[in-house]
Amino acid sequence: PAAAERGEPLPVGLMFPDLGSQYVKMLDGVKDLPKVQEMLQEARQVLGFDILQVCLEGPEDSLLQDASIAQPAVFIAGLAALEKLRAEKPEAGRRFQAAAGLSVGELTALTAAGVFSFADGLRLV
């Protein structure tokens, strides 16, 4: 019988997006999570600007068209979503068995899987 029929938890896989998923006000629902706050502080040091401010306030053109802003924003948002998953469903956030992504999402997946540190993944983006 399948795992679900035996009452066992189903496998968890994570998928991370590429550009096109960013929008003004992104990170608003996760910015107060402690791990996300740590990421944002580290991102400020690595990037040299406050990515949270751009994500929350825009300008929309920068967030949508400037790859030097959009790519880090999508990378951080993916990892922030993982932190939200860990906060809301800790077992799912801990036991994912696969991670994948498209373009920037690939780097996010590798960071989520522990291949890169957050700062190294952000620098690669």
Going by C-alpha positions, the residue among 30, 116, 19, 107 that lies closest to residue 68 is: 19
pLDDT at 2 over 80: no
| pTM metric for this prediction | 0.92
65 CB neighbour count, 10 Å cutoff: 11
Distance set, CA 75 to CA 48, 83, 91, 102, 117 (Å): 16, 13, 23, 11, 12
Structure confidence at residue 5 (pLDDT): 80
Query: Per residue in 71-112, pLDDT tens?
Result: 999 999 999 999 999 999 988 888 899 999 999 999 999 999
Residue count of the chain: 125
Structure confidence at residue 105 (pLDDT): 97
Tokens read off for 81: 């979503």
| Range from 3-7, 44-48, 76-80 carrying the lowest mean pLDDT | 3-7
Going by C-alpha positions, the residue among 10, 24, 12, 31 that lies closest to residue 81 is: 31
Give ∠ CA 29-31-33 in degrees, rounded to 5.
100
Kind of pairing, strands 96-101 and 12-16?
Answer: parallel
